[in-house]
Every structure is written in structure tokens, then in C-alpha cells.
Amino acid sequence: MRNLVGYLIRRVGWMLLTLWIVYTVSFVLMRSVPGNPFSSERTVPAAIERQLRARYNLDAPVHRQYFDIGWGIVSRGDLGWSLRLEDYSVNQVLAEGFPVSASLAIFGLVFAIGLGIPAGIISAVRRGSFADLSMMTAAVLGIAVPNFVLASIVILLFVFILPIFPAAGWGTLQQLVLPAFCLGAPVAAYIARLTRAGMLEVLTREHVRTAMAKGLSPQAVVLKHVLPGAMLPVVSYLGPATAGVLTGSLVLEKIFAIPGMGSHFINAALQRDYFLAMGMVLTYTVLLFVMNSIVDISYAVIDPRVKLQ
């Protein structure tokens, strides 16, 4: 338990350091663009200029601004004002987008795990069979076909040719199915491959033979002695998988016109909305840290030999 507390403290420490670096880099980039919100020839709409003025001393020296904005983030969690969306603070944009993106991501991940792990188990247990071959080919396809290609194919198939699902939008379960599927598919493919490889590797370990020699049924051997070990690589993949899902949602939110964080982020980038982009990067950094910490902890829970550090 003390182990865990120490680990969490260290993780938070690293996270703060990383956030500070991200903030500094973003600030330097933002400040060094001519026409940036703090320069005299700024190019922000008048209404937004008013907001900025109300909040920051736009004529203060650089180090002052660096400190002020940073302090705003630390003390109030205030990420600043959108430079393109009038009357919207970055926090408001995030508050609106986050639940949407989060539910999409969670659905995508759940779908990926629910499909990937059983497929991997079946493939490994029936190694070399037709089921194995077809599932593993599908898995390579799933990895090879980019999210947005898959999205266009499913739109062609299930929206235009066989109109089962709506093409775009947000709010109903039906509208969630296609984007979640496209988001989860590559992750599911990876998980299936990792599960299969992990299973095959653990199956060659001697302790599996020991378990067989005890007279356990093959099902019990697979479930109790093979699967937990085979899950270790899958668990460590969940960190990158989260990053992948977050990335994927950028595209899918665009294609399916979903009002999540991702679409805001793309717009922020395209329209040079630095405050919003910085806020997004900071948010995503925190998300990734949290997810990676969960992954580390679950790994240590499954494998008692691993020490958290």
C-alpha cells in the first residue's frame, strides 16, 4: 500500500514536470508567432480582445505573461480564452467536448477489448485452423486499414447502400455505433494479435505443463494458467491504445460530425487558436498520464513480481 502511495506521488510529480514542459513550449511557440494574441499587431476579433484584456495584462512583459497565464492554470485551472470562438473560454469548450469524446473513447475501447480478446484466445487455442487464419488476416487488415478509410467504407455500406445507421450526428445510441466501431477496430486488431501471441507464448511455458499434469481440464488450464499471463502484453498496450483512441477520435469526430474535443482541437489547429490548442494538449497529457498509471497499477496487480516505480 505504501508502495502504491509512493508510486502515485512520483507519477504526479512527473506529470507536473511534463505539463510544465508542455506549457512552456506552447507558450514560447504562441508568443513567437507574429500577430499572436499578445503582440501589438494582434489579429483577434474585437470581442475576444475585450475578454483577453479583462483577464490578462496584454502589455506586460513576456515573463510576466508567462507567469500570469501559468498561475491562472495552476490556481484556478483556467486555460484561457478561445481566440476564435467568441465568448467561449477554453474550459467551457472542454467541458462541452470532453463527455462526448470520453463516451466515444470508452465505447471504442470496450468494443475493442470485447472483440479482440476472445478472438485472440480462439485463434491461439485453435492455432492453424480456418478460424485462426481468417481472424488473423482480419486483424492485419484492421491494423492496415486506417480509421478514416474504414469509416468511409462503413458509411458507404451502412448509410448509403444499406441505410441502417445515420451518417452523422451525436446523441443517440445508433449514432454511436459506427464511430465506436471504426475507433475500436484497429485497437481490437492489435489486442487480438497480442492476446494470441501472448497465449501461444504462455502455452509453451513449463508451468502450463504442470497445470496439465495436475489433471485440470484444458478449459481450466487456459482460463486460470494461460490467460492471465497472456493478458500482460495486452494490459501494457492499453496505454498506447488510449493514445490511439484519442488520436482516432480526432478523425472520426470530423467524419461523423461529432461535437467532441477532437473536432475542436482540429479546428483550433487549423484556425491557429493557440489557447484552445494548448488547453487541449494539456488535457490530453493528463488523460494519458492517468491511463498509463492505471495500466501500470493493473500490471502490478496481475504480476506480483513487478514492483511499481
Partner 1 sequence: MSQARPTHDPAAAAAAEEQRRETLARLLEESKQIRGNSLWSDAWRRLRRRRAAMASLIGLIVLVILALLTPLLPLQSPIDKDLKNRRLLPPEWGAMTMGSREGLGFAEGSLVAELRRFDAEIDELRRQRGELSDPAERSAMDEKIRQRTRVEHPFNQLWNKLGPVSHLMCRLRVSLFGDYAIPSIFGTDKLGRDLLARVFWGARVSLLVGVVATLVSLVIGVSYGATAGYVGGLVDAVMMRIVDILYSIPFIFVVIFLITFLGEDNVKVWLQDRGIEQITIFYFVIGAIYWLTMSRVVRGQVLSLRNEQFIEAARTVGASTWRIVFRHLVPNVLGVVIVYLTLTIPAVMLFEAFLSFLGLGVAPPDVSWGQLLNDGVEALSSVRLYWWVVVFPGAALAATLFALNFLGDGVRDALDPKMKNRD
Partner 2 sequence: MNPPLLSVEDLHVSFQTDEGLVEAVRGVSFDLGQGETLGIVGESGSGKSVTNLALMGLIPRPPGRIDRGSAKLAGRDLIQMSQKELMDVRGRRIGMIFQDPMTALNPLMTVGQQLTEVTRRHFGLSRAAAQTRAAEMLEMVGISAPESRLRDYPHQFSGGMRQRVMIAMALSCEPEILIADEPTTALDVTIQAQILELLGDLQRRRGTSIILVTHDLGVVAGICDRVLVMYAGRVVEQATVTELFASPRHPYTLGLLRSLPRLDRDHSLRLEAIPGQPPDMTRVPAGCSFRARCPVALARCADDTPPLREVATGRSSACWHDDARQPAGVASISPDPSPVAGG
Q: Would you tell me which residues interact with partner 1 (CB under 8 A)?
A: 14-15, 17-18, 21-22, 25-26, 29, 33-35, 136, 140-141, 143-149, 151-153, 155-156, 160-161, 167-168, 196-197, 200-201, 204, 243, 246-247, 250-251, 254-255, 265-266, 268-270, 272, 274, 277-278, 280-281, 284-285, 287-289, 292
Span near partner 2 by CB under 8 A; candidates 50-58, 88-96, 248-256, 298-306: 298-306
The site for partner 2, by CB under 8 A, has a size of 22
Q: How far is the CB of 300 from partner 2 (least distance, A)?
A: 12
The listed partner (partner 1, partner 2, none) that binds 255, CB under 5 to 8 Å by sort, is: partner 1
Q: Per rule CB under 8 A, is residue 304 in the interface with partner 2?
A: yes
Q: What value, to the nearest 5°, has the Cα angle with vertex 52 and ends 46 and 57?
A: 125
The listed partner (partner 2, partner 1, none) that binds 214, CB under 5 to 8 Å by sort, is: partner 2
Q: Which is nearer to partner 2, 64 or 214 (CB)?
A: 214
Q: How far is the CB of 37 from partner 1 (least distance, A)?
A: 13
Q: Which is nearer to partner 1, 90 or 250 (CB)?
A: 250
The one among 63, 215, 270, 307 contacting partner 2 by CB under 8 A: 215
Q: Per rule CB under 8 A, is residue 198 in the interface with partner 2?
A: no
Phi, psi of 81 (to 5 degrees): -110, 140
Q: Which is nearer to partner 1, 258 or 268 (CB)?
A: 268
Q: Which is nearer to partner 2, 112 or 121 (CB)?
A: 121
The one among 134, 137, 210, 309 contacting partner 2 by CB under 8 A: 210
Q: Which is nearer to partner 1, 82 or 292 (CB)?
A: 292
Per-residue H/E/C for the chain: CHHHHHHHHHHHHHHHHHHHHHHHHHHHHHHHCCCCCCCCCCCCCHHHHHHHHHHCCCCCCHHHHHHHHHHHHHHHCCCCECCCCCCCEHHHHHHHHHHHHHHHHHHHHHHHHHHHHHHHHHHHHCCCCHHHHHHHHHHHHHHHCCHHHHHHHHHHHHHHHCCCCCCCCCCCHHHHHHHHHHHHHHHHHHHHHHHHHHHHHHHCCHHHHHHHHCCCCHHHHHHHHHHHHHHHHHHHHHHHHHHHHHHHHHHHHHHCCCCCHHHHHHHHHHCCCHHHHHHHHHHHHHHHHHHHHHHHHHHHHHCCCCCCC
Mention every residue, 6+ apart, whose C-beta is less than 8 A from residue 92: none
Span near partner 2 by CB under 8 A; candidates 77-85, 209-217, 236-244, 275-283: 209-217
Q: How far is the CB of 306 from partner 2 (least distance, A)?
A: 10
Phi, psi of 82 (to 5 degrees): -65, 140
The listed partner (partner 2, partner 1, none) that binds 126, CB under 5 to 8 Å by sort, is: none
